[in-house]
Chains A and B, each alone.
Chain A
């Protein structure tokens, strides 16, 4: 096998990595649109969940590309704690609806949640 074939092989792999990175970037931007526009708190919660999942996947992708394993602890911690925000906000949403109107903060309404 000559040097040309080796170059092609590495070029192919680098190109695939580039494509994966671009797709991740586009996906993140699309998720950010939903995160900003809402319209309800639940939509934003789901969008932030997807954003966190994307972060875990990108951390793994970066390890493959740069050939190291330093961010594995980050992946473990993120996978373990991703549930906390979802459960906390979901319970907050349920509780807020359940409270009588007089207890709710002035100006808040159900459509906002």
Chain B
């Protein structure tokens, strides 16, 4: 027979295990998947969900509004920045040319690259500095 505090503690410990399993799944995906885009897909799973689970576990363990208020910025910052970094990595991979174009179901960027007239480079125009022509 568990006490109420005991139930909260057990629930928190179970959440920690789920978060750890998410991290393990990401790690295995990182090891087993063949190309950077698939690995990126696996890697971004624990960044948000795992963090939320751990934060809820801390809340269940501490049971204090102050602690929960301090933990909200962690989740919000991660929610804001994780998609940006994932986008930048995917973009770098596409432009770098080390992503197999045959693995795409749809490549919506390619027509735009052709329209920009930069078919000489995978990913086409650099886009970083518009108007700069760096054609060799």
Contact = CB atoms under 8 A, between A and B. Distances in A.
Interface residues of B, number: 63
Interface string B76-103: 0110011011101101110111100000
B28 interface: yes
Contacts of B51: 53, 56-57, 60, 79
Give the interface centre of A13, A20, A33 by most chain B CB atoms within 10 Å: A20
A80 B57 CA distance: 21
Interface string A54-97: 10110011011001010010011001101100110111011101
Interface residues of A, number: 58
Given A16-B10, A23-B20, A86-B88, A30 B31 contact: yes
Give the interface centre of A16, A79, A100 by most chain B CB atoms within 10 Å: A79
Contacts of A20: 13, 16-17, 19-20
Given A42-B36, A80-B77, A90 B9 contact: no
Nearest to B88: A90
Give the interface centre of B3, B39, B54, B55 by most chain A CB atoms within 10 Å: B54
A63 B58 contact: yes
Interface of A: 1, 5, 9, 12-13, 16-17, 19-21, 23-24, 26-28, 30-31, 33-34, 40, 42-43, 45-47, 49-50, 53-54, 56-57, 60-61, 63-64, 67, 69, 72, 75-76, 79-80, 82-83, 86-87, 89-91, 93-95, 97-98, 100, 110-111, 113
